Amino acid sequence: MVVLIVERVPASLRGLLSRWMIEPRTGVFVGRLSALVRDKVWDKTTSLLRGGGATMIFKNPTEQGFAIRTHGKTDRTPVDFEGLVLIRSPSVS
């Protein structure tokens, strides 16, 4: 399973992503893609961001069972903490 979250991207990119995945919430895409299709979708997404951001979470043989990719400006940042991926949220002032 693949989860792709896009932020501040053109509607045309969201329409393109809906060809391969469903969009249960605005900017959140979920689908079952092969590794080849997943990588091609990621390449296409990163090339069409236009100042937005993308985060992809997918199954991977790691301790946590998944891997995370990010590109562009995202609200949350993955951080490696001794082999575990944690998410850093923006601080609230």
Q: Taking the domains of the chain in order of start, what are their residue ranges?
A: 2-88
**What's the pLDDT at 91?**
75
**What's the pLDDT at 56?**
98
**What's the pLDDT at 93?**
63
Task: Give this prediction's pTM.
Answer: 0.90
* Digitized pLDDT (tens) for each residue of the chain, 93 residues in all: 999 999 999 999 999 999 999 999 999 999 999 999 999 999 999 999 999 999 999 999 999 999 999 999 999 999 999 889 999 988 776
CATH topology classification for 2-88: Alpha-Beta Plaits (3.30.70)
- CA-to-CA dists, residue 27 to 1, 2, 22, 92, angstroms: 17, 14, 10, 23
For the chain, percent helix, then strand, then coil, each to nearest 5? 20, 40, 40
